[in-house]
Amino acid sequence: MTDGVWDDVVGQPAVVAELRTAVREPASMTHAWLFTGPPGSGRSVAARAFAAALQCPAGGDGTCHACRTVLAGTHADVHRVVPEGLSIGVAEVREIVRTAGRAPSQGRWQVVLIEDADRMTEQATNTVLKMLEEPPHRTVFLLCAPSLHPDDVPVTIRSRCRVVGLRTPEVEAIADVLVRRDGVDPALAAWSAAASGGHVGRARHLAQEEDARLARKAVLDVPLSLVSLAACLNAADDLVATAKDESDRTTAGIDGAETEAVKASLGVGARGPGMAAASRGAGALKELEKRQKSRATRLGRDSLDRALVDLAGLYRDALVLDSAGPDVLSSAVPTLNHPDRRADAVELARKIGAEGALRRIQWVLEARTALEQNVKPQVAIEALTVRLRLPG
């Protein structure tokens, strides 16, 4: 039985119930919402489903024109802001906000959905804040951010939003949606869900792409390989190169299509009157190239960040298993981040102990912070792998 637009909101029954109530009961509705939760919990998926339900006469049946166009990203009254580069700039936000101030042209609401709102620049944040302070009639803002940490979303924004907190979905819920919606083999779905760290998109990627499974294996092979300085530097080279390769594969097709579309609109290669317009389009092509470069940088760093999260998860498993005592293979321990690499976690626990695992988790987190602060990936990852070197 289908649940309409809410089908893709995995493992969040309380959130779905809250949003359905807001759609159904005007007294429960407000003009600004902040969707928070850990990576992969489905913040933007829940926000898009909510936007569709708000526009749907039936409250989100998933079959009508309004639902289909919102979920496809083509509804005239739903405006998504998605960061293509490292941040969301003020120019992009101002244009969306200007449009959102108008009355709905087709739907019941004007909806502005800002994914990764924590990436807004200070000027962009101030632009949104002004709109939240004086909200137009029938306009709704849906902001998505990874947490409620003060550095992520300013308190001036949070205080004007109704916060919807998503949790990490259960492994069983993720596996179920992979089987039911994506047709994944149940055994592979169960493995992918367990290996994803509660990240629905990552689980789907692992289930559908062998390259993703091999990349994860390569990352989790790193901790036990760090037996010398040369091994540390080689591991850093491999991690950075893999992230760049993934970024290049992702952007190759997108960049080419975008560039050709802009060239066509400018009349590049045209004869006669079109030549003048084409000559004036050099600035537009340069700006596009700049955006594409920024997007590639972000994708590469996102890929490295996933690798670091996987590493931290394996050290966390070692910490848990070491704390469980000498009968670790038979004793009951909390759920592991990487259950398929339990033997590696046991070996790590034997080599570095709980204190060593805890220090390494901290070093991985410091490397993530360094990448966020625009330290060159090669430098940050080399420094990390040298620190992670096994003793003796």
Q: Which residue, 165, 184, 212, sits at the end of a domain?
A: 165
Within-domain flag for 369: yes
Q: Report the C-alpha gap between 2 and 312 in whole angstroms.
A: 37
From the CB of residue 380, how many other CB atoms can be counted at a distance below 10 Å?
A: 24
Per-residue pLDDT of the chain in tens (392 residues, 90 and over written 9): 567 899 889 999 999 999 999 999 988 899 999 999 888 888 999 999 999 999 999 989 989 999 999 999 999 999 988 877 667 888 888 888 788 778 888 778 999 999 888 888 888 889 889 888 888 888 999 999 887 565 677 888 888 999 999 998 899 999 998 998 889 999 999 999 999 888 888 999 999 999 889 999 999 999 999 999 999 999 999 999 988 888 787 777 676 666 666 667 666 655 555 555 555 566 767 776 777 677 677 777 888 988 999 999 999 999 999 988 766 554 556 788 899 999 999 999 999 999 999 999 999 999 999 998 889 999 999 999 999 999 98
State phi, psi for 111 to the nearest 5 degrees.
-120, 130
Half-sphere exposure of 5 (CA within 13 A, CB side): 34
- Say whether both 253 and 135 belong to one domain: no
The tokens for 379 are 């430098």
Q: Report the C-alpha gap between 248 and 224 in whole angstroms.
A: 28
Comparing CA positions, the residue from 162, 104, 94 lying closest to residue 130 is: 94
Give the gyration radius of the chain's Cα atoms. Answer: 23
Q: Which residue, 141, 165, 189, sits at the end of a domain?
A: 165
Within-domain flag for 365: yes
Q: Report the C-alpha gap between 164 and 145 in whole angstroms.
A: 10
- Say whether both 15 and 143 belong to one domain: yes
**Given this model, what pLDDT does residue 380 score?**
95
Q: Report the C-alpha gap between 265 and 360 in whole angstroms.
A: 52
Within-domain flag for 83: yes
- Say whether both 143 and 244 belong to one domain: no
Helix/strand/coil (H, E, C) string of 14-43? Answer: HHHHHHHHHHHCHHHCCCEEEEECCCCCCH
Q: Report the C-alpha gap between 383 and 262 in whole angstroms.
A: 41
**Given this model, what pLDDT does residue 360 score?**
97
Comparing CA positions, the residue from 44, 70, 46 lying closest to residue 57 is: 70
The tokens for 265 are 């609109």
Contacts of 213 (CB under 8 A, 6+ apart): 206
Query: 281 near 262, Cβ under 8 Å?
Result: yes
**Given this model, what pLDDT does residue 333 score?**
62
The tokens for 131 are 């709109």
Which segments within the chain are labelled E, that is strand? 32-36, 78-81, 110-114, 139-145, 162-165
User: In CATH, what number is assigned to the domain containing residue 353?
Assistant: 1.20.272
**Domain interval for residue 293:** 229-258+287-387
- Say whether both 112 and 244 belong to one domain: no
- Say whether both 20 and 155 belong to one domain: yes
State phi, psi for 101 to the nearest 5 degrees.
-75, -10
From the CB of residue 6, how many other CB atoms can be counted at a distance below 10 Å?
A: 23
Q: Is 187 exposed, middle or buried (0-12, 13-18, 19+ CB in 10 A)?
A: exposed
Q: Report the C-alpha gap between 312 and 180 in whole angstroms.
A: 31
Virtual CA dihedral for 7, 144, 368, 201, nearest 10 degrees? Answer: 20
**Given this model, what pLDDT does residue 138 score?**
86
Query: 41 near 196, Cβ under 8 Å?
Result: no
Number of domains forming the structure of the chain: 2
Q: Report the C-alpha gap between 21 and 35 in whole angstroms.
A: 16
- Say whether both 27 and 152 belong to one domain: yes
- Say whether both 112 and 240 belong to one domain: no
User: In CATH, what number is assigned to the domain containing residue 111?
Assistant: 3.40.50.300
Within-domain flag for 219: no
Q: Report the C-alpha gap between 58 and 182 in whole angstroms.
A: 26
Biggest alpha carbon distance in the chain? 82
- Say whether both 19 and 153 belong to one domain: yes
Q: Which residue, 165, 187, 214, sits at the end of a domain?
A: 165
Q: Which residue has the tokens 């493992």?
A: 11
Query: 142 near 47, Cβ under 8 Å?
Result: yes
Packing angle between helix 210-220 and helix 282-323, nearest 10 degrees? 50
Q: Report the C-alpha gap between 344 and 317 in whole angstroms.
A: 9
